[in-house]
Structure 1
């Protein structure tokens, strides 16, 4: 039950964050965000579409992709490129938008697929410094780290 309460709080914060930016978290966008937040692991667009069709039989891929684009633009979800899937932003609703306003790295378990977002400023700083040494200005960086999660390592 706490998980549902946490998800509902995140949805309310997302609505407020969108309103502060003059954007609207429509019922469809809210539903897609709720599906992402409720997924046990990062979820792909077609899996979202399958879940969405139970309440919106006419939903099609563009429906989901437009909603995901909005959620990405407003910093409410991240795309985990390696998995071609989406995960809720652990810092959503805290005033950042498209660039997500915070560093983000993902720890991806090779065994069970569990994915956790971390926001280590030291990693972001190291990347920015390395890029600067190469004469490059880093605007955004997403780091995806594969390994074994604590739960799998214990078994």
Structure 2
């Protein structure tokens, strides 16, 4: 089981890794796409498109919403980020190696922290349940809302 938990500092080797994947796939990580990815990775919490736009405007004052949305579409398509459906926000993928993989997101309703979990036993069980019903999975988003450990300890 692996996970992504926001709030990490941007690792330059991650950007190099993503650039290498883009090169191998024959796609371009343009400066704007790279910058949006860097912003998502630098943010402590999941980021909305408009939060990203506000941050992008610091270095690119003329940036417009389509700029961010095009970058997000590219990053999603390449599997470098995930969209948190229930909050319409974005987090970096904890494992950029595959264009698509199944995962679970744990979302704290108090602080907004998002943790990405990749638990093969859970995924295998869900896949088996789908197959038992003659259903072939193409996409799966599991979002679980609750209160993280840090926020739960604050209550006490």
TM-score by length of structure 2 reads 0.89
| Secondary structure, aligned partner of 1:53 | helix
Q: Which runs of 4+ in 1 moved over 4 A?
A: none
Partner of 1:23: 27
1:88 aligns with 2:87: no
CA distance in 2, matches of 1:141, 1:36: 22
Gaps of 5+ in 1: none
Partner of 1:148: 147
Confirm or deny that 1:72 pairs with 2:72. Answer: no
Q: Identify the structure with bigger relative contact order (alpha carbons < 8 Å, sequence gap 6+).
A: 2
Q: Residues 5-39 of structure 1, C-alpha deviation per residue, up to 9 Å, x if partnerless?
A: x5222111111111111111111100000000011
Q: How many residues align?
A: 147
* Aligned mates of 1:7, 1:32 — CA distance in 2: 15
- Compute the displacement of 1:73 (Å): 0.7
Contact 1:124 1:141 in 2 (8 A): no
Gaps of 5+ in 2: 1-7
Root-mean-square deviation (CA), in Å? 1.2
Q: Please give the per-residue CA displacement for 1:131-155, whole angstroms capped at 9, x wherever unaligned.
A: 2222211112111011111111222
Cα distance per residue 1:47-81 (max 9 Å; x no partner): 10111111111111110000000001111000000
